[in-house]
Amino acid sequence: MELEKGRVFIFDTTLRDGEQSPGFSMNLNEKLRFARQLEKLGVDIIEAGFPVASDGDFASVQQIAGEIRGAQIAALARTNLADIDRAWEAIKDAANPRIHTFISSSDIHLELQLKKTRSQVLKEACAAVEHARNYTKNVEFSPMDATRTDRSYLCEIVEAVIGAGASTVNIPDTVGYAVPDEFGELIGYLFENVKNIDDAIISVHCHDDLGMAVANSLSGLRHGARQVECAINGIGERAGNTSLEEIVMALETRKDILKLHTNIKTKHIYHTSRLLIDITGIPVQPNKAIVGTNAFAHESGIHQDGLIKDKTTYEIMTPRSVGVSETNIVLGKHSGRHAVKEHIKNMGYSLTDEDIGKVFKRFKELADVKKEIFDEDIEAIISDDIFRIPDKYKLLYLNVVSGNAAIPTATVRMEVDGEVAQDANFGVGPVDATFATIKKITKTGHHLLKYAVNAITGGTDAQGVVTVQLKYNEHTVVGRGADPDVLVASAKAYINALNRLESLKADRKG
């Protein structure tokens, strides 16, 4: 297959492999919002979901396929022909649809899970690719658990599916078992022993169970692979997938050795990472490569001295190259609407004038209680006021009495389906009392899995961001709330989680 020299295709699976990991579930509107950002980032292929998994997954893949025009839209399907039919039904309106079908190839999976022989799996894989080709020439095949598959059999199945019409063959390190030299050598072995390998693009999909997903992916690229399957912030099953931001910036920063490139617009990386955090409520660790809060922070005196003299002494890439502003413009109560609008635009948001008006109003309210407004404050306002899902529950009023000589008591006034309700309750502390009152008003009793508080910025007047995780049957949802008052932020987060549960229930019914 003729390819642009040195071009690496970026296949983003945040909405599929990433979203199916615990705690990262998204509703339809959130998936669509994130897909738009991936399109803006410049990813080549968006794996939008697994349509046969649920009606909700089907609907989200279908809507993404109907709207996103700047990237290929892939849908996952087992080699089951009904899966493939369902996948095509979801993506048929895409500008460039791709069917991604898979079946295990390792003896471990064949014997212990599938209870099938190698010849049965080979026949099923080819039949699936041929069936998918009836819909589109853009067909990808993955032999799951490839790194633990007998090499001669792996060559046989790769050659067969290419012969059946697969335009991309993905080699997954499904359980994160490989080490870099081993994985790269495996890709090289395929290029040496599969006769028709030049008729397809070879892809890599590495998991991070041993912390080597990015290193394994790079090794695969150096041995001839030209597509990387990855996810924003490295999210995914178990320890996660290859991190998109890390693989892209490794290729960008070390062009001198790797001599490869992508079409990713790197200035949108940081905002894409922040958007995923905002949607899921799950942050990355401060020392996370590329997008962590400490990624471009320097505290050591020796480092600071070097940076003052020349930034290349301790920075191998600029913050601006990934969308982190080197000069954090601080806004305050005297800032005008135009300045706020321009700053929001520079942060990577595209908002309507009506939305800008809502943000500006909240900005002014916050500026009355905070001396300085930072980017993180603006992000919290946008998340709360613009992109929050339709509310069944809404907080109107909160008053909490607490202290070492008082029984913690919370009085809450809420709107439930448009009707105002008010009640009070006790707790072992102010947060417990607040949550107990909300439960009483909403007549809910979901199990609280997680409660976390973080300050958005420094200073005692910083906004607090609260993350709440609730369990509903086999599902978990995350709610977030931001406010200078941590108790108000807590109430907002809990109510946001309840609203997300209602949205989840509606998606399931739909």
Same domain, 302 and 238: no
Same domain, 363 and 459: no
Residue with token string 């909403």: 442
Residue 386 has pLDDT above 70, yes or no: yes
SS3 category, 481: strand
Final residue before a domain boundary, out of 387, 418, 433: 387
Give the pLDDT of residue 101: 98
Same domain, 237 and 355: no
Residue 279 and residue 271: Cα distance in Å, rounded? 12
Contact of 426 with 435, CB cutoff 8 Å: no
Give the pLDDT of residue 508: 61
Same domain, 104 and 215: yes
* More confident site: 56 or 310: 56
Same domain, 137 and 55: yes
- Domain housing 348: 332-387
Give the pLDDT of residue 303: 55
Same domain, 311 and 225: no
What are the CA-CA distances from residue 39 to residues 203, 263, 268, 271 (Å)?
20, 11, 10, 13
- pTM for the model stands at 0.83
Write phi, then psi, for 284 (nearest 5 degrees): -95, 160
Q: Residue 208 domain-assigned?
A: yes
Residue 414 and residue 402: Cα distance in Å, rounded? 21
Residue with token string 């990624």: 295
Write phi, then psi, for 351 (nearest 5 degrees): -115, 150
Same domain, 141 and 250: yes
Residue 221 has pLDDT above 80, yes or no: yes
Residue 1 and residue 197: Cα distance in Å, rounded? 9
Residue with token string 């907002």: 492
Q: What is the CA radius of gyration of the chain?
A: 25
**Residue 166 structure tokens:** 């697969």
Q: Residue 226 domain-assigned?
A: yes
Q: Residue 58 domain-assigned?
A: yes
Strand duo 409-416 + 393-401: pairing? antiparallel
Residue pLDDT, tens place only, 280-292: 878 898 899 999 8
| Mean pLDDT on 144-160 | 98
Q: Residue 2 domain-assigned?
A: no
Give the pLDDT of residue 327: 46
Same domain, 144 and 35: yes
Residue 281 and residue 479: Cα distance in Å, rounded? 7
Residue 344 and residue 340: Cα distance in Å, rounded? 6
Domain at 149, CATH number: 3.20.20.70
Residue pLDDT, tens place only, 233-249: 999 999 999 999 999 99
Q: Residue 285 domain-assigned?
A: no
pLDDT confidence band for 201 (50 / 70 / 90): very high
The single-letter code of the amino acid at 140 is: E
Among the ranges given (21-25, 81-85, 487-491), the one the predictor scored with the smallest mean pLDDT: 21-25
Residue with token string 């997903």: 213
Q: Residue 397 domain-assigned?
A: yes
Q: Residue 416 domain-assigned?
A: yes
Residue 419 and residue 97: Cα distance in Å, rounded? 45
Q: State the number of CA atoms in the 13 A half-sphere of 112 facing the CB.
A: 5
Closest CA to 217 of 188, 245, 184: 184
What are the CA-CA distances from residue 217 to residues 35, 60, 207, 208, 472 (Å)?
23, 29, 9, 11, 36
Same domain, 317 and 366: no
Among the ranges given (32-41, 243-252, 454-463), the one the predictor scored with the smallest mean pLDDT: 454-463
Contact of 395 with 414, CB cutoff 8 Å: yes
Residue with token string 């982190």: 324
Same domain, 95 and 153: yes
Through-space distance between the first and last CA atoms of the chain, rounded to whole angstroms: 42
Residues 6+ apart with CB under 8 A from 165: 129, 130, 132, 133, 137, 139
Residues 6+ apart with CB under 8 A from 65: 48, 73, 75, 90, 91, 92, 93, 94, 97
Number of domains within the chain: 4
Contact of 31 with 18, CB cutoff 8 Å: no
Same domain, 87 and 188: yes
Residue 243 and residue 224: Cα distance in Å, rounded? 20
Same domain, 193 and 50: yes
Q: Residue 117 domain-assigned?
A: yes
Residue pLDDT, tens place only, 170-184: 999 999 999 999 999
